[in-house]
Structure 1
Amino acid sequence: MNSADMANRVKKPAHVPDALVYAFDYNTDPEYCRDPHARAADLARNAPPIFWTPYNGGHWMVQAHAAVHEALRDYETFSSEHFSPEAFNSMMAELPEEERIPAPVPICIDPPQHAKLRMPLFSTFSPKAALAREKEIRELAERLIDGIAKQGRCEFQHDVSDIYPVEIFLGMFGLPVEKEREYRELAKKHLSVITPDLSENMLMMQAIAAVMRETIVERRANPKQDIISMLWALEIEGEPMTLDLMLSYCVILFIAGLDTVVNALGFGVRHLATDPELQRVLRANPALIPEASEEILRRYAFVAPIRLVKKEREFHGAELKEGERVMMFIPSASVDERVYRDATTYDMNREKHPQMAFGAGPHYCLGVHLARLELRVMYETILKKLPEFRLDPEHPPTFHGSIIAGPSSIHLRWDV
């Protein structure tokens, strides 16, 4: 172990038994960055179901399916509030308007305030609203796949995945689509490493807000048919929308809209490229694609949200203290053999159990219907327009860690 590695570790608290300590750094662990899901399965087999790691300031990792499922619903113990909303608002009120940092709402707050701020977004992300966009989403998918079909190869993340959900989101949101690469690079820069340093996270929020601020302010005076304009028209508990709250909404939706489907799609296409039999089955019967997609989401879940312990308690054999950080490690929970038999095997016909790729509890993914639609349409389009494709043996896939793990590059080849 080198000195740099030692410097990144913190001392184990006295209440944590040695048996529950397991060294894992979700940002830089070499095996996790080499293949997130192989490492997650290794952790599920070899690490305690709940363990404490000395990296990233020292925190708990919850990886048993039952424990993750319970904790994500128990917001009174496992809080999404990484700081007091009252203290944050008081601090921001003392700063000039142009220097204020957006609060990460409605993600980093708990009920009942969470529900009040999330509720106005339901109609925008409803099943009906998602399906109303299917035609434009399909046109975009076909344009992107037509653009690579004759090449016989592509780097899927750059050529397709980094564009497809991002362009959909920017169009819905009302941000300039011509800046899609700039926005995507900004999201990747700020989500590639997440530390417990709140000042770093606040600067990330500030940087993202800065690139949207001009458009957000302009929409207040000149509304259009987009999400930013819709948000300006809202009243929260009888009070008109403010610029501070607008920036907070927009930053969180920006992060969610520009990263999650990008990664889900990359993992899904990587799996299809390694499973020619599944490609043949789905080409012959496209009606099976939604079912196939759900098993891909189960097997390759990649989000690991952080919570703060709000009150001391014993939880599945671990003694948790108030203020400790807890990572809900959904990638390992998704291959828990106590829930999924032969869990690391992709099996579209397995006995159905709820998968947690979209989370659980009050913070269950708001954009789940749009995400499922985007994935289904892209899988349908790829399987319709490309012949059997495979991974390029000269360029193996690369990945990154963080609380949202994802592919960095997926090189594909096919015969033309």
Structure 2
Amino acid sequence: METAVDFSQDLPSHVPSELVETFDLWNGEVADDMFGALERLQDRAVAKGGLVYNPYLKIWWAGGLDLVREIYQAPDLFSSRSLAGGIAEPGTPDLSAVLPFRLIPVVLDPPDHEHFKRLLTPLFATNVMEKSRPFFVKTIVDAIEKFADKGQTEIVSSLTGRVPALTFTRMFGLPEERGPEYADWNHTLFRGQDPERSEAAGKIIGALTELVERCRREPGDDLMSEVVNATVNGQPVDSNDALGIGFLLWMASLDTTTSHLSFQFWHMATHPEDQRRVRENPELIPGAVEECLRLYGTVNNGRILTRDTEFHGVKMLAGEKIGWASSAIGRDGTVFEDPNTFDPERSGNRHLAFGAGVHRCIGLHLARKMLILSMEELHRRVPPYRITEGMQAKPLSGLSLAFESIPISWDLEG
């Protein structure tokens, strides 16, 4: 977002003035046209060599998929020690800096990262997710059948937010009936302001503390029991690290998956020809899911410089932050042919919606399973759907892109 505020006095002396681009991830142009604004920002960054500097947020901003892949693959230079590289809305503290534990494994760099990833990766392996398929299908179908004969629904509350919440409670060994309450806490954590945001974090920590203590006393067959009673690098997982793992998985389960589900159904509701093509050719659903991940990467991510360096011809200093938009790099025209075209038969879809390198998302198999099964089951049970006439979807910008609501409707048969 362009602003009339003069940031020239705040510009670090090593930053060339021609690289300045001022924008706000939470308000203005990005809030009004999130994907268009982020793509235009990327275009300006690419035109200037791949990097620009935002004095408002005090961050470098990267444009281009290959450049971002370089960042992912150099954790010794671009550290993940703070969530999203410590990028936060002005006036709001970085979440990972105020929590009393580490958000494991995302804020760890090698070699500590590998120790914890060896514990967590098998818990989300493809074969483990396939064993849970009957539960996933039942959860999705039960949610859809509550509205399939109504002719309309607000799909964030009825499906894209509900299913991840129920899946999360089952995997964590938490009471299923509290899933919506947990999702509300998570929404406040991501979208709220203090003191509500801090109160939500406290509620999540309280619930996780009780869960960790219970899993130590009475281990079950749930994911958190596996974590709490495991060893890492020859040492038992301590309670603080168990809380950090639980808090991160809580956020990812109840925010990122919900957002990916919401964007894929918003796309189908607003692009009837794409929806028709996928309905007539259900074998294209996995490819359709990948295209939505590419086009609508939901996370604006970041890293922190560990040392002074020159990166792509630009001087950068230790402690500085660098960010990028997953949705924009997924529309990089130097990598993807017709980048803004939805093509479920696209080959070589090298998007980075799940990251890359050592921090590639451990839950990607779970996320893909949920995205594919949800589209399959909704299209089996609900006729072609659209945004309800006279209503609008309500998007949310920030560090993660999401929808507050998506009202859809369809014609009932007979």
Shift of 1:127: 0.2
- Taking structure 1 as reference, are residues 22 and 388 closer, same or farther at Cα in structure 2, changes over 3 Å only? same
What's the TM-score once normalised by structure 2's chain length?
Answer: 0.89
Identify the residue that residue 128 of structure 1 maps to in structure 2. 127
Report the AA paired with residue 59 of structure 1. Answer: I
| Structure 1 Cα separation of the partners of residues 133 and 193 of structure 2 | 34
1:332 to 328, 334, 346: 328
| Structure 1 Cα separation of the partners of residues 164 and 99 of structure 2 | 29
Q: Deviations over 1:278-335 (max 9, x none)?
A: 2222222212110111111111111122210011111123221110011132221111
Report the AA paired with residue 36 of structure 2. Answer: A
Identify the residue that residue 86 of structure 2 maps to in structure 1. none
**Superposed, which structure 2 residues align to 1:126-275 within 5 Å?**
126-192=125-191, 206-275=202-271
| Structure 2 Cα separation of the partners of residues 276 and 203 of structure 1 | 42
Asked if 1:301 corresponds to 2:297, the answer is yes
Identify the residue that residue 52 of structure 1 maps to in structure 2. 53
Bigger CA drift: 357-366 or 283-292? 283-292
Identify the residue that residue 88 of structure 1 maps to in structure 2. none
**Retained in 2: the 8 A contact 1:106–1:118?**
yes
Shift of 1:193: 6.7
Structure 1 SS opposite 2:300: coil
**Retained in 2: the 8 A contact 1:302–1:331?**
yes
Report the AA paired with residue 36 of structure 1. Answer: M
Report the AA paired with residue 410 of structure 2. Answer: W
Report the AA paired with residue 35 of structure 1. Answer: D
| Structure 1 Cα separation of the partners of residues 180 and 200 of structure 2 | 18
Bigger CA drift: 375-384 or 323-332? 323-332
- Taking structure 1 as reference, are residues 117 and 204 closer, same or farther at Cα in structure 2, changes over 3 Å only? farther
Identify the residue that residue 373 of structure 2 maps to in structure 1. 377
**Retained in 2: the 8 A contact 1:267–1:406?**
yes
**Retained in 2: the 8 A contact 1:41–1:344?**
no
Q: Which runs of no fewer than 5 residues in structure 1 stay unpaired?
A: 84-98
Structure 1 SS opposite 2:323: strand
**Retained in 1: the 8 A contact 2:51–2:60?**
yes
| Structure 1 Cα separation of the partners of residues 271 and 100 of structure 2 | 46
Shift of 1:351: 4.2
**Retained in 1: the 8 A contact 2:186–2:200?**
no
Identify the residue that residue 81 of structure 1 maps to in structure 2. 81
Structure 2 SS opposite 1:150: coil
**Retained in 2: the 8 A contact 1:172–1:227?**
yes
Coordinate RMSD, CA, aligned:
2.6
Identify the residue that residue 41 of structure 1 maps to in structure 2. 39
Q: Deviations over 1:339-397 (max 9, x none)?
A: 11221221223342411111111110100001000000000011111111011231211
Report the AA paired with residue 17 of structure 2. Answer: D
**Retained in 2: the 8 A contact 1:102–1:251?**
no
Number of residue pairs matched by the alignment = 395
| Structure 2 Cα separation of the partners of residues 253 and 383 of structure 1 | 29
Identify the residue that residue 88 of structure 2 maps to in structure 1. none
Q: Deviations over 1:10-52 (max 9, x none)?
A: 8111111111110111122x23223321222222333443111
| Structure 1 Cα separation of the partners of residues 119 and 165 of structure 2 | 22
Shift of 1:206: 4.9
**Retained in 1: the 8 A contact 2:294–2:351?**
yes
2:284 to 284, 288, 310: 288
What's the TM-score once normalised by structure 1's chain length?
Answer: 0.89
Asked if 1:112 corresponds to 2:96, the answer is no
Higher relative CO (Cα under 8 Å, sequence separation at least 6) belongs to 1
| Structure 2 Cα separation of the partners of residues 21 and 154 of structure 1 | 44
Shift of 1:232: 2.1
**Retained in 1: the 8 A contact 2:52–2:60?**
yes
Report the AA paired with residue 106 of structure 2. Answer: I
Report the AA paired with residue 245 of structure 1. Answer: D
Identify the residue that residue 359 of structure 1 maps to in structure 2. 355
**Retained in 1: the 8 A contact 2:287–2:346?**
no
Q: Which runs of no fewer than 5 residues in structure 2 stay unpaired?
A: 84-97
